[in-house]
Chains A and B, each alone.
Chain A
């Protein structure tokens, strides 16, 4: 894990009971996780009465250090021993190390989900809708009797957050072909995940 000097300095301040008493430490730690994981979190996350006595510059500095560290740890899937080793290097006492690890463990899944969802990928199919129609006439050919399917795929683009749709028509045979191929893919997927 690559961590800058400012992260280390921030943690050293957090370790000092003179700068952060037990209560303040816990509050800041929770605030760091909240601002990362809670979509509705805003700047007021540090506006707690029990943190008012601390210099705002120090508060922001330590908050940023904690958040940076949490993200790096999440990215590399750090385990408890890695976390403890680093925190002890920053002069964290036993109690604070335990508290950090517990808080990290509680939020680990949400953190990993968040990090896993960041990134570019192909447009993602989210849903499908279909319509069966029976065509009887067009202005070119007076009588034609044939069934047709209209299929619409709902798609989500990860980077542009747009939701285009892909629509196409097909005959019964073509739809059977399409479904057959999707079923093959599904069976392969099942087999692969069982290995």
Chain B
């Protein structure tokens, strides 16, 4: 029987495969120690410094491994099944994270845009016109469904759209934005 790991556990264990086997072994030993008695936060700090991750990450890693070990013995999982669970997770790890990050409540997302220049020459109510316009086809994605919207705009509005959206892009270069990003991490 394959072990079911919760999302939180998967996250906790996520950084382990990147480390070499010696490190993982050390983690394994710490996990066993943890099981036997208690934990020593100082060990986490040391490990965190060496590995260049936060000590929280280390603690979670140990706890995750501990969970794995306990579940394994609880369920008397076979060696094979245990390895399979881990490999399954590792192989699909990247995909799992991407899917999880995108399955949050979301809006349709931008996919592509096509445009076409149109010149209106006449209509039923007025002949001999010269009215330039731009037809726009907006491709959006939502939950795997593709949606297209066909829209139109005039030259003045088009310039306005470009100007506004360029300002939006500029916002990511501001000090305010950079400060927020730095401090959140």
Contact = CB atoms under 8 A, between A and B. Distances in A.
Interface stretch (B45-53, B68-76, B135-143): B135-143
Given A168-B140, A175-B169, A150 B115 contact: no
Main secondary structure of the interface of A (DSSP, over half): mixed
Given A116-B131, A128-B164, A188 B117 contact: yes
A169 to B, nearest CB: 5
Interface in B66-122: 97, 100-101, 103-110, 112-115, 117, 119
A122 to B, nearest CB: 4
A136 B183 CA distance: 12
Given A116-B123, A116-B126, A189-B155, A169 B113 contact: no
A135 B185 CA distance: 11
Interface size class of A (residues with CB under 8 A): 35 or more
A39 interface: no
A176 B123 CA distance: 36
B113 A181 contact: yes
Interface stretch (A29-37, A44-52, A137-145): A137-145
A149 interface: yes
B163 to A, nearest CB: 10
A99 interface: no
A144 B185 CA distance: 10
Given A151-B110, A179-B169, 8 more contacts: A77-B127, A116-B125, A122-B150, A128-B164, A128-B165, A141-B104, A155-B151, A179-B166
19 contacts: A76-B127, A77-B126, A115-B125, A116-B125, A121-B152, A122-B151, A125-B161, A128-B164, A141-B11, A150-B107, A167-B108, A169-B109, A169-B110, A172-B169, A172-B172, A175-B168, A179-B169, A185-B117, A193-B155
